[in-house]
Amino acid sequence: MEIPMTKMVLMATAFSKNSMMGMVIVALVCMGIPFIALAYMKTKTGAKITSFLKGLLFYALFAFGVSGLINILLLGGLSLSSVLNRSIHPVYYAVYGAVLAGIVEETGKFIGLKYMMKKNPDKQNALLFGLGHGGLEALAYGSSLFMGNFVLALLVNSLGVDEYFNKLGITGEKLVEQKNNLAALMAIPTSEYVAYGIERVFLLALQIALTILVFMAVNNRKLKPMFPIAILLHIIAYMPSYLNNMELLNLTFNLLITGAVCVIVAAYVYRIYHQISDDGTIASKNS
């Protein structure tokens, strides 16, 4: 139920300690796991750290750069903003977001693995490329987001709600809107922060697994179908999150569906990983 912007919502006067602790934990998990995994994989596989950095770069280029340009073209140039309006057509908006992310991000992996990994074209470096790709996503949508919320919570608790907005100089309907947003943030239970942290871990594992599928498509013509399969799996895994953001799917179902897809895909890739040769072929166990 939407809150009319002409009315002020009732709100707490401060963020709870549990909520702030939840923000910090999620931020640390999203920042720590990629780098702990990097240290472990680097030691275990001997892959190059530059492969991780290339994964970071290609995520930034495609998830932020290319996606941003496509949004400008479709929502501005082709005037599809009315059809893809999140308030009027939340389902269309969610589907659009998931499909765009799947196509653009997996295409970025394909291009990166094909043209930027020629010096290290093996599966170990593809693994680190995927970790870099998923790691930046975890940092952008997990660590930086929740650390930003934590800093906001510190400021609000220190100054008080009214003084905080007085210092920002916000008045009128903008003030009402911002107070409503702050009230919604204060109302988030700690369990939701835990759920979000778990979801980020699932999606990081998925990004690494999908990178291996794309690696197989890049290096073996017979396995080219792995590329569209990776796109489809990406869309399926991320769709619940987009629907949840539009309040069309509750958090529990979001986590269950996303978690199930991520675990199945990651388990499959883990099972075949040691059978994959550097040309992307899956070798028989008996060979």
For residues 201 and 210, give the distance between their C-alpha atoms in angstroms, rounded to a whole number: 14
197 belongs to a structural domain: yes
287 belongs to a structural domain: no
The answer to whether residue 60 scores a pLDDT higher than 70 is yes
232-270 pLDDT, tens digit per residue, is 999 999 999 999 999 999 999 999 999 999 999 999 999
9 belongs to a structural domain: no
DSSP 100-148: HHHHHHHHHHHHHHHHS-SSS-SHHHHHHHHHHHHHHHHIIIIIHHHHH
Q: Are 259 and 202 in contact (CB under 8 A)?
A: yes
Mean pLDDT of all residues in 83-102 = 91
16 belongs to a structural domain: no
- Return the SS3 of 2: coil
Question: Domain limits at 242?
Answer: 22-273
Query: How long, in residues, is the chain?
Result: 287
200 belongs to a structural domain: yes
Query: How many independent structural domains does the chain possess?
Result: 1
The answer to whether residue 282 scores a pLDDT higher than 80 is no
For residues 45 and 22, give the distance between their C-alpha atoms in angstroms, rounded to a whole number: 34
pTM of the model: 0.89
Q: Are 216 and 115 in contact (CB under 8 A)?
A: no
For residues 101 and 135, give the distance between their C-alpha atoms in angstroms, rounded to a whole number: 16
- The pair phi, psi for residue 76, each rounded to 5°, is -105, -65
145 belongs to a structural domain: yes
103-121 pLDDT, tens digit per residue, is 999 999 999 999 999 888 8
Beta carbons within 8 Å of 201's beta carbon, 6+ residues apart: 29, 33
160 belongs to a structural domain: yes
Handedness of CA 274, 269, 143, 188 (dihedral sign): negative
- The pair phi, psi for residue 241, each rounded to 5°, is -65, -40
Q: What is the mean pLDDT of the chain?
A: 90
286 belongs to a structural domain: no
Confidence of residue 9 (pLDDT cuts 50, 70, 90): low
For residues 280 and 273, give the distance between their C-alpha atoms in angstroms, rounded to a whole number: 10
Q: Are 55 and 132 in contact (CB under 8 A)?
A: yes
